[in-house]
């Protein structure tokens, strides 16, 4: 028996009760955080300085405000005709219990044109990676395997490069256009990587964004149900007694240290909240909130003209996060275009951008596909007399014994 549901049912009921209590407490704390946030409207320059001062001293994430904190932008008119390109990816990870070292990345791509001459092109492109340079990142002295977070980074790069190629070959500049990706544009998984690993992946990723800038195609990413606490981090500064912009002093977390001695810090009410809890509560259907800059170290130090900005957008019951590079964020007409087209895509997709949904369908590797690939791989190795076999652990999972 895999899962004893009878034993689990009591725990599920307890979880449900705890979830109700937690939601009530979070709503009360979000209301207090929102009150402090709105009090700071009009003081954006002050809090932008506080964020800059605290970027390296605060122990939490931060966002620098670009627009007034109480900004709500109504939905701009959607162009009657436009084009959208989107990519998404999936993978079969390297299996160290398998017969050969390799991994597979499948990129789904979608081009859709709306208006008088509507058309759509959908497809996918699989790529198998098995060479030494595919399996490791090296600086000559060290070798780091491409697996886990680094394999995800490799897939992110491939999605971006495919999107740039799709934009170059499909968009002719005659219609408003949008290039769309799922998830964040900030490569968080590389933040703690060694410099030569960052250079391998981030250099290629930024080259994709540079190509999109050269093409003049606004690029954005869509995050459904975002859990980021970056704006919340800035609200924490508003409660922090350490912050003194006039004295050039940022957050030092002295009260947070006191918390270990049993004293609750002033910013404690922000714990567990996410940005959408506060910013999203003020947005009506189709409205977006203010622009912010993500203050993650890799974004500020490495992205340059592609520094990632973001705003929140109300789509039905959900508040999503839309990320854009600086060269889009600095052009109000481009921000308006992203705002209107992302919302239109969500309407067409029943709450989620239809182009991303179709790209995902093209990219996803289903269980039957995985089994077919494994049979193809095993058969090819056998015919080539390449030898090799799966590990004893892998073999034991394929057969039941007592």
SS (H, E, C) 190-241: HCCCCHHHHHHHHHHHHHHHHHHHHHCCCEEEEECCCCCCHHHHHHHHHHCC
Q: Is 209 within 8 Å of 307 (Cβ atoms)?
A: no
Q: What is the pLDDT of residue 253?
A: 67
Residue position matching structure tokens 């947070």: 256
Spans of all domains in the chain: 82-222+360-395
Burial readout 135-157 (b: 16 or more C-beta within 10 A, e: otherwise): bebeeeeeeeebbebbbbbbbbb
Q: What number of helices (H) and strands (E) belong to the chain?
A: 14, 11
Residue 35 pLDDT: 96
Q: What angle do CA 307, 283, 330 make, to 5 degrees?
A: 25
| pLDDT digits (tens), the chain, 402 positions | 578 888 888 898 888 888 888 888 888 999 999 999 999 999 999 999 999 999 998 889 999 999 999 999 999 999 999 999 999 999 999 887 677 899 999 999 999 999 989 999 999 999 999 999 999 999 988 999 999 999 999 999 999 999 999 999 999 999 999 999 999 999 998 988 999 999 999 999 999 999 999 999 999 999 999 999 999 999 999 998 889 899 889 987 655 655 555 567 878 888 899 999 999 999 999 999 999 999 999 999 999 999 999 999 999 999 999 999 999 999 999 999 999 999 999 999 999 999 999 999 999 999 999 999 999 998 998 888 766 555 444 554 455 555
DSSP string, 240-282: -TT-BTTTTB----HHHHHHTTTPPPGGGGGTT--HHHHTGGG
CATH placement of domain 82-222+360-395: 3.30.420
Residue 391: its pLDDT value, please?
Answer: 43
Listed in sequence order, the residues at least 6 apart from 140 whose beta carbon sits closer than 8 Å to its beta carbon are none
Query: What is the value of pTM for the model shown?
Result: 0.91
**Residue 93 per-residue DSSP state:** -
DSSP H/E element including 47:
helix 44-54
CA angle 185, 287, 83 (to 5 degrees): 55
Query: Which residues are registered as beta bridge partners of 222?
Result: 182, 322
């Amino acid at each position: 028996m895999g899962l004893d549901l009878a034993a689990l049912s009591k725990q599920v009921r307890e979880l449900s009760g705890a979830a109700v209590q937690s939601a009530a407490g979070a709503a009360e704390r979000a209301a207090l955080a929102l009150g402090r946030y709105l009090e700071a409207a009009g003081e954006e320059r002050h809090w932008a300085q506080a964020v800059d001062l605290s970027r390296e001293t605060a122990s939490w994430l931060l966002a620098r405000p670009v627009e007034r904190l109480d900004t709500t932008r109504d939905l701009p008119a959607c162009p009657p005709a436009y084009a959208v390109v989107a990519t998404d990816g999936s993978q079969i990870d390297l299996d160290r219990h398998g017969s050969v070292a390799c991994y597979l990345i499948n990129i789904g791509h979608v081009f859709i044109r709306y208006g008088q001459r509507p058309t759509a092109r959908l497809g996918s492109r699989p790529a198998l990676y098995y060479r030494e340079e595919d399996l490791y990142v090296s600086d000559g002295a060290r070798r780091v395997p491409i697996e886990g977070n680094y394999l995800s980074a490799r897939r992110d790069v491939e999605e971006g490069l495919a999107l740039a190629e799709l934009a170059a070959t499909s968009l002719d500049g005659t219609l408003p256009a949008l290039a769309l990706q799922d998830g964040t544009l900030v490569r968080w998984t590389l933040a703690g990587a060694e410099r030569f690993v960052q250079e391998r992946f981030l250099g290629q990723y930024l080259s994709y964004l540079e190509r999109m800038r050269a093409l003049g195609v606004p690029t954005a990413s869509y995050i459904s149900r975002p859990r980021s606490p970056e704006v919340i981090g800035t609200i924490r500064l508003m409660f922090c007694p350490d912050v003194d912009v006039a004295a050039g002093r940022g957050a030092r977390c002295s009260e947070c240290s006191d918390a270990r001695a049993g004293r609750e810090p002033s910013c404690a009410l922000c714990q567990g909240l996410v940005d959408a809890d506060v910013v999203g509560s003020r947005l009506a259907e189709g409205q977006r909130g203010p622009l912010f800059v993500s203050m993650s170290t890799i974004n500020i130090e490495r992205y340059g003209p592609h520094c990632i900005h973001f705003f929140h957008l109300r789509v039905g019951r959900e508040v999503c996060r839309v990320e854009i590079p600086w060269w889009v964020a600095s052009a109000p007409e481009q921000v308006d275009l992203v705002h209107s087209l992302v919302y239109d895509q969500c309407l067409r997709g029943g709450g989620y951008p239809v182009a991303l949904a179709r790209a995902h369908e093209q990219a996803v590797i289903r269980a039957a596909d995985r089994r077919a690939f494994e049979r193809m791989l095993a058969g090819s190795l056998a015919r080539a007399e390449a030898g090799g076999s799966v590990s004893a652990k892998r073999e034991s999972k394929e057969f039941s014994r007592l």
